[in-house]
Amino acid sequence: MPAPSERVVVAMSGGVDSSVAAAILKESSLDVVGIGLRLVGSDEAPGERRSCCGIGAMDDARRVAEKLGIPFYVLNFEEVFRKAVVDYFVSSYLRAETPNPCIPCNEVVKFEELLRAARGLNAPFLATGHYARVTRDRDSGRRILERGTDRSKDQSYFLYSLSQEQLASAVFPLGEMEKKDTRELAACLGLKVHDKEESQDVCFVGAGGYRSFIEEYASGTWRTGPILDDSGAVLGTHGGLHNYTVGQRRGLGLSTREAMYVVDVDPVRNAVIVAPGSRVRGQERLLLERMNYVSIEKPGGPVEVTAVTRYRKPEVPATLLPLDGCRARVEFHAAQEPTAPGQSVVLYRGDEVVGGGVAARVEE
């Protein structure tokens, strides 16, 4: 944590959480500088207000900063956001993977580029409105990322890919707050944003939803193809692989007697593979790539953990087995519904984030 009167940059979206985060820092006598991130929207239609990236949100953030009496600037991160988040999001779907765009947004846009900008402003710390905590292990000296105290709001899942250096510069003022306290505090401080709606997960896709966003962004690069059953028989036609994710049941447009589930999305054959619920096999283990270890260094042997295979999904017991390079295997103690390739899997020990990685397409 920064010492009193030290400078800290706070990323302000105009929403309740980052506004209250800024207020808490200001109350702690820090030298707070608010930065709004312009991510999309210089070509945004007038009047359209997207959840957290648009110009309208920046006006809200500016009003909050004025109210708090802190300087506020909007910086343009459109280019890095497009490369690190939007391109990744779209290309993942086109590869038949299911990405978490918030993860590179935190890792690259906020804790790489915005942090660099903060350091340029003589601020060694970057604060965000995430519900997560960072502590320092006295023995190992490692920064430990922990779940937010409010388990229902915990956002440590979206932060698992931060490096030790990034965590050392991170400040999460809401880590020990309950969401209702955040709203109350916002109301007490007279912040007009206190009853604003929650922002959505994929902030940049707009009202049309992510499928039409992808179709527009990557127009011409996706094709229709067959929907096959697990024996290879053609059951129907799909409208592009980006419309499907493993485990999906709705929107398949099939007239089979039994409800069918997507069990695989195969970019090589440009095919969607489905099976009836009775034949969906549970997943016993999972290969993870791009592993990042947080509370521990890469271990020499198995570690007992709990695994979260999708944001807000309940954790399940598993064994982590480190592999060569940045890969690892997770063996679930009981078979699980399949995890879509591209999803981040975050591993916990109690409240602390052990590490995490991205589910690979093939299990070894």
* Closest to another protein by CB, 71 or 209: 71
Q: How far is the CB of 76 from another protein (least distance, A)?
A: 5
Encoded tokens for 242: 């980006």
Tell me the pairing of strands 303-308 and 352-359. unpaired
Q: How far is the CB of 79 from another protein (least distance, A)?
A: 6
* Closest to another protein by CB, 34 or 148: 34
Q: How far is the CB of 12 from another protein (least distance, A)?
A: 14
* Closest to another protein by CB, 31 or 284: 31
Based on the residue annotation, tell me whether 203 is a catalytic residue of this protein: yes
Query: Residue 320 and residue 318: Cα distance in Å, rounded?
Result: 7
Encoded tokens for 299: 């271990």
Q: Tell me, what amino acid is at 296? A: I
Encoded tokens for 32: 């707070």
3-state helix, strand, coil in the chain (%, to 5): 30, 30, 45
Half-sphere exposure of 26 (CA within 13 A, CB side): 19
Q: How far is the CB of 33 from another protein (least distance, A)?
A: 7
The number of residues making up the chain comes to: 364
* Closest to another protein by CB, 119 or 361: 119
Encoded tokens for 181: 């306290």
SS3 at position 69 = coil
* Closest to another protein by CB, 77 or 158: 77
Based on the residue annotation, tell me whether 105 is a catalytic residue of this protein: yes
Q: Of residues 52, 53, 102, 203, which has the active-site annotation?
A: 203
* Closest to another protein by CB, 7 or 179: 7
Q: How far is the CB of 113 from another protein (least distance, A)?
A: 5
Query: Residue 41 and residue 13: Cα distance in Å, rounded?
Result: 14
Q: How far is the CB of 20 from another protein (least distance, A)?
A: 23
Give me the helices (H) in 31-112, please.
Answer: 55-68, 78-81, 87-94, 102-104
Dihedral angle sign, alpha carbons of residues 79, 81, 83, 87 = negative
Positions touching another protein (CB under 8 A) are 33, 37, 71, 73-80, 113-114, 116-117, 119-122
- Contact of 100 with 155, CB cutoff 8 Å: no
Query: Residue 214 and residue 93: Cα distance in Å, rounded?
Result: 8
Where b means 16+ CB within 10 Å and e means fewer, 160-182 reads bbbeeebbebbbbbbbebbbeeb
Q: Of residues 52, 105, 188, 326, which has the active-site annotation?
A: 105
Q: How far is the CB of 27 from another protein (least distance, A)?
A: 20
**Which residue bears the tokens 């944590």?**
1
* Closest to another protein by CB, 33 or 144: 33
Catalytic site positions: 105, 203
